[in-house]
Amino acid sequence: MSNRVKVEIFGQSYSLGGDLDEAYVQKLARYVDEKMRAVGEATQTVDTVRVAVLAAMAIADELHSGQQDTSHRDDALRERAQQCLTILERALKQTA
C-alpha cells in the first residue's frame, strides 16, 4: 500500500512515496525544513547541498545523542534492577 505525499522542504517541492501516514511524513518534512532553515540562517550559506549536509549532520547528532542517553538510562535501570534482585534474594534467604 504505497501512497504519494507532496511536501515542501527549503523551498523545494517533493513527492514522496511510501507506506507511512501522510501526517507523519508532513511532520518529518517540517522538521527537516526547520533544520535546514536554521542552518541556512546560522551559516549564511545559500548552497542548498551544503545546507542539507549540515542539517543532516545536526539531525544525526540529535539521533546519536538520544541513543546514547537511552543506552545510559538502560544501563542505570539494569544496574538498579540487579541491586533490587540482590536485596530480594537476601531477604528470601533470611525468611527461609
Q: Distance between alpha carbon 96 and the CA centroid of its chain, in Å?
A: 49
Q: What is the pLDDT of residue 4?
A: 93
Tally of structural domains, the chain? 1
17-64 pLDDT, tens digit each: 989 899 999 999 999 999 999 999 999 988 999 999 999 999 999 999
Which residue range is the domain that position 39 belongs to?
A: 3-95
pLDDT class for 88, splitting at 50, 70, 90? confident
Q: H helices of the chain, where?
A: 22-43, 48-95
Whether this prediction's pTM lies above 0.75 is answered by no
Residue 1 has pLDDT above 60, yes or no: no
Evaluate whether 38 touches 31 at the Cβ level (below 8 Å): no
Look over the chain and give the mean of its residue pLDDT values, rounded to a whole number. 91
